[in-house]
Amino acid sequence: MISSAAVSVADRVSEPVRSYSQITVEPLSPFVGAEIGNVDLSSELSDAVAEEIARAFREHGVVFFRDQVLTPEQHIALARRFGTIEINRFFKTVDGYPEIAEVRKEADQKSNIGGSWHTDHSYDQAPAKASLLYAREVPPVGGDTLFSSMVAAYDALSPGLKATLERLKAVHSSRHVFGYTSKGLMESDLKGRISNPELATQDALHPVVITHPETGRKALYVNANFTVRIDGWSSEESAALLGYLYRHAVRPEFTMRFRWRQGSLAFWDNRSTWHLALNDYSGHRRLLHRITLAGTPLS
């Protein structure tokens, strides 16, 4: 068997290497994910700490914090430190806190939220910048979340395919996922956790390769959940190209797997990563709170 070409860690570096003085940052894989220490997210973050967290977020695509004790108010205050909160139209929200979407699966429920590779809100004209997911209750084992770097996935493509992709746009939609035409939703036990199908009216056109608005790095910006076709291509033609990209984008070396504990918080960049919630914990409850930050149109 011929092994695939190694992807270089040096390709990942997007900012001048500067060390961290306020926080600890331990990369969890070469291309995506880092655990941050020495921070209490329940307290007001100093500018220096917030700047270092934002830098680690840009550099690693997703950053994780452990053993945090946050009230909903503190979760909201933390999110506001990094952007403007965008209210999700479809998730049930936490009572009294419309800013916080509930990612819940009860012990007797079958379907989970976010169980296929995606990036949040790509169906919007100005897709979400980031999400902050906080674990309130997790199964004893299982329910991990996978992340993949769309910067690493793009970097590893051939120059020829990169040049082709850079001329293309893709159509993203919320209709087939959250709307009345969503077979998966209508026939599953997600009802009540996901609602408002009448609001699933969003379609958006985005470049297949975006330039990250903060790092300037190029990233693949299509995903299996919300992208419906390449603009100007038939569904069949689109499926062939997108199918290849979706397989390529989750090569194991571009991914990492996060094991939650109660009090863990993940803060991910929706422009440079994908994520997927594993559904392997039947008989147990899993409850997380998610806040999404508004983004800008992508180019």
Q: What is the DSSP string of 169-200?
A: EEEEESHHHHSTT-HHHHTSTTBTTB--GGG-
Known catalytic residue at 75 = no
Residue 291 in the binding site for ligand SIN (CB under 6 A): no
CA–CA distance, 103 with 113 (Å, rounded to integer): 6
> Which one of the listed residues 12, 75, 118, 193 is annotated catalytic?
118
Residue 89 annotated to the active site: no
| Sheet (strand 145-149) strand order | 255-258, 145-149, 273-277
**Smallest separation (angstroms) from ligand SIN to the CB of 287:** 10
Q: Has 289 been annotated as catalytic?
A: no
| Chain CA centroid to CA 33, Å | 12
Interface with ligand SIN includes 119 (CB under 6 A)? no
- Count of residues binding ligand SIN (CB under 6 A)? 11
Angle between helical axes of 47-60 and 72-82 (0-180°, round to 10): 70
Of 94, 128, 277, 298, the one binding ligand SIN (CB under 6 A) is: 277
Distance of closest approach, residue 79 Cβ to ligand SIN, in angstroms: 14
Distance CA 229, CA 201 (A): 17
If one asks whether residue 61 binds ligand SIN (CB under 6 A), the answer comes out as no
Pick between residue 144 and residue 203 the one whose CB is nearest to ligand SIN: 144
Taking CB under 6 A as the binding criterion, the range among 11-19, 34-42, 113-121, 194-202 that sits at the site for ligand SIN is: 113-121
Q: Which residues pair with 145 in a beta bridge?
A: 258, 277
Q: 173-192 in b/e burial notation, b at 16+ Cβ within 10 A?
A: bbbbbbbeebeebeeeebee
Contact yes or no for 60/266 (Cβ under 8 A):
no
Based on the residue annotation, tell me whether 275 is a catalytic residue of this protein.
yes
Contact 14, 58 (CB under 8 A): yes
Q: Residue 114, interface with ligand SIN (CB under 6 A)?
A: yes
- Among the listed residues 75, 104, 212, 290, the single catalytic one is 290
Residue 121 binding ligand SIN, by CB under 6 A: no
Q: Does 289 bind ligand SIN (CB under 6 A)?
A: no
Catalytic positions, written as ranges: 118, 120, 275, 290
Tell me which residues touch ligand SIN (CB under 6 A): 103, 113-114, 120, 131, 133, 145, 275, 277, 288, 290
